[in-house]
Structure 1
Amino acid sequence: MSLLIRNLINLDREQSFSEQSLLMAGQKLKQALLPILGLLGFLLMWSIAANNVTTSLGKFPGPGAVITQFDNLYQEHVSERDKELAFYERQHKRNADRIAKDPNYVPKVRAYTGKETFLDQILTSLKTVLSGFILAAIIAIPLGIAIGLSHTLNQAINPIIQVFKPVSPLAWLPLVTMLVSALYVSDDPFFSKSFVNSLITVTLCCVWPMVINTSVGVASINQDWVNVSQVLRLPALTHVRKIVLPASIPAIFTGMRMSLGIAWMVLIAAEMLAQNPGLGKFVWDEFQNGSSQSLSRIMAAVIVIGLIGFLLDRAMLQLQRWLSWDKASAKR
């Protein structure tokens, strides 16, 4: 009798486990299918809307036209790289012939000055936004820690932050351009002025969210941890390194993620406004071009801008998961 009861209990457990497994499998399938269904629905609505919208340049581009442009843009990049390679090969052959005739000849190599391709513009924008973001982090995180630790410093600097925080970085762009033109004077500059202008603009939009979130995170540290540090009489730098930084990492990364997203949006707008090299300039040039393919090329750029913004946010989130002790703060 006891054996029968034991078998019935085991059978019930196996059935429960099987039901739980099916339920988990169903949930995972649902999580995988819903984004796909959402994407398919978006593409369907996009196709229908595109067929019913006519602009001065023709039909609004649908998914098929945009996919075609991705291939065209890549082929243009390959063609431009082939031209660059042929350009340097011609120089190399010309210099080799000159040296053969005159061993004392000092060869000269001119830089290739062909147009930037779509992929080149992507790399330019990424280099600019990451450089500005890193520079802002170097400035903002130490400043935020200092403000969070010192009530006096907080009272002194907070009004300045509150005044300049709402100012659009694009409003700074004319001033930044004038200052860079006046101060960054060199016959052979290491960085181009357009890069420095965009870099400073990105830095200005990144600083404020990082300063505010870092200072709030530092000021909100568990008082028990601060008391332990005081009991152990930790030096100031050790206190910051062992207590403050680990405890405030979730808040710091929240500010960094916000800053990076804002920086990417601001950079594209700044490149359009100032005609600095990058994806923003590509979009504006295509708009000014006004060809039959301009709209589909602009739409391709818009999709790439969105995907890069998404990937930058995911990369920052993954970095937070690696470095933060609070894994719950880095779930999404």
Structure 2
Amino acid sequence: MKQSVAVNKAEQHVKWTEGLKALLSKFKIKPIKLEFNTILKKLIVPILSIAAFIGIWHVGANALRQREIDFRVEKALTDQGQAAADELKACFAAKTASCQTNTLPSPSQVWSSVSTLIDDHYVIKQDKLDFINKTAAVNAKRVQAGQEPIIYTGRPSFIDIVLTSLKTVFAGFLLALFIAVPIGIVVGLSDTLRNAINWFIQVFKPVSPVVWYLLVFMIVKTLLIGSSSDNSFVISFISVGLCAMWATLVNTAMGVSSVDKDYINVAKVLKLGALQKVFKVILPSSLPLIFTGLRITLSVAWMVLIAIELLAQSPGLGLFVWEEFQNGANDSNSKIIVAMFVIGIIGFLLDRIMLIIQNAVSFNKNATA
């Protein structure tokens, strides 16, 4: 009897499974097979590594904080006596605002700074709206009279700072693209030009972003002499573009020079013009290397942007980090760590976006990180 019931259950299970497969097939839905190894590699291991990173960070931050506390208490004991040392120790234990350490912040402190920066963004956003509403009538009259409208000059929020940095890096990236790709194509088509310009590339490619900034500053301030406008954005994006364009220039020239000669011969047989040959034969064949260069250029542009914004006093992430370092407030170190994570995450996302575009327009669909 039990054996008969077990057989019936097995038959029902088989029928149910076949019915489910038929239903999925009808709606063209493929069953998902989640193997434990895949889940382990793709989900569990990354989560565990993040938890381990946060745990090590927490322990290290607390150890550094305690080291600074011990030093300061010992110094108070030596200079002022036991009573002063006990008072300072109690102050640190209470975690009051007057007794804060100036060392690596803990994960909880950084998370608190994230919340503070977000709250500040909404406060500043509301201040901007109030200012716009308050000056709307006055600005309308000024515009009618041919005068410049009154603009908001308050401090930017952290979101505004991030958007400024993104605007600067994209402007610099586009400048690098428009300079490096055409020059790379021309150089790649001619061995003579490639040999003639090689010294120029090798000399200027390793130049520091600080030096590029100084060079651009010399030129732009002379070209715009007498102008009262803020030139920090122009100087910043030109410096970023010139500093980051070399990978695209080299890869474009290499890609063009390594195009299969059979393709060039076919273009000759078809009597394609110079521009037709470039756009229909050379560029499609060179796209994988060109996009590799563009990915490197965008990464370099995002890295050097921080130093250049600091020097140019452009209101971006570079200046934000420097001002927080100079500020020395209780949460300054935490805000610097927040900026560090934002810089890293944005850099990663920019690289992924470039990879997606590369796979979309290139014949090589197997491009990976």
Sort the TM-score into its range (normalised by shorter chain). Answer: 0.7 to 0.9
Task: Return closer, same or farther for 1:93/1:22 CA change in 2, 3 Å cut-off.
Answer: closer
CA–CA distance in structure 2, aligned partners of residues 235 and 106 of structure 1: 51
Query: After the TM superposition, which residues 99-178 of structure 1 pair with which residues of structure 2 at under 5 Å, given as runs?
Result: 109-178=149-218
Which of 49, 53, 59 does residue 38 from structure 1 map onto?
Answer: 49
1:191-247 alpha-carbon deviations (Å, 9 max, x no partner): x31011111111111221111001111111122212211222211111111111110
Task: Return closer, same or farther for 1:269/1:57 CA change in 2, 3 Å cut-off.
Answer: farther
CA–CA distance in structure 1, aligned partners of residues 334 and 174 of structure 2: 33
Q: In the alignment, what sits opposite 2:87? A: none
Q: In the alignment, what sits opposite 1:63? A: 107
CA–CA distance in structure 1, aligned partners of residues 105 and 203 of structure 2: 43
Q: In the alignment, what sits opposite 1:73? A: 117
Which of 118, 127, 151 does residue 83 from structure 1 map onto?
Answer: 127
Unaligned runs of 5+ in 2: 1-30, 69-99
Q: In the alignment, what sits opposite 2:60? A: 49
1:87-108 alpha-carbon deviations (Å, 9 max, x no partner): 2222236689x99xxxx99998
SS at match of 2:152: coil
CA–CA distance in structure 2, aligned partners of residues 87 and 186 of structure 1: 30
Q: In the alignment, what sits opposite 2:74? A: none
Unaligned runs of 5+ in 1: 1-20
SS at match of 2:155: coil
Task: Return closer, same or farther for 1:321/1:184 CA change in 2, 3 Å cut-off.
Answer: same
TM-score of the superposed pair, with normalisation by structure 1: 0.85
Paired AA for residue 224 in structure 2: Y
CA–CA distance in structure 1, aligned partners of residues 133 and 34 of structure 2: 60
Aligned-residue RMSD, C-alpha: 2.6
TM-score of the superposed pair, with normalisation by structure 2: 0.77
Task: Give the CA deviation at 1:273.
Answer: 3.0
Task: Return closer, same or farther for 1:74/1:224 CA change in 2, 3 Å cut-off.
Answer: same
CA contact (8 A) 1:57 1:291 kept: no
1:269-291 alpha-carbon deviations (Å, 9 max, x no partner): 11223332200000000000001
Instruction: Specify which structure has the bigger relative contact order, considering alpha-carbon pairs within 8 angstroms and separated by 6 or more residues.
Output: 1
Paired AA for residue 226 in structure 1: I
Task: Return closer, same or farther for 1:139/1:93 CA change in 2, 3 Å cut-off.
Answer: closer
Q: In the alignment, what sits opposite 1:17? A: none
Task: Return closer, same or farther for 1:107/1:324 CA change in 2, 3 Å cut-off.
Answer: closer
CA contact (8 A) 1:57 1:290 kept: no
1:145-165 alpha-carbon deviations (Å, 9 max, x no partner): 111111111111111111111
Task: Return closer, same or farther for 1:326/1:105 CA change in 2, 3 Å cut-off.
Answer: closer
Q: In the alignment, what sits opposite 1:301? A: 339
CA contact (8 A) 2:209 2:307 kept: no
Paired AA for residue 258 in structure 1: I
User: Which structure has the larger Rg over C-alpha atoms?
Assistant: 2
CA–CA distance in structure 1, aligned partners of residues 139 and 283 of structure 2: 57
Residue range with higher mean Cα deviation, 224-233 or 196-205: 224-233
Q: In the alignment, what sits opposite 2:79? A: none
Q: In the alignment, what sits opposite 2:19? A: none
Which of 280, 295, 298 does residue 257 from structure 1 map onto?
Answer: 295
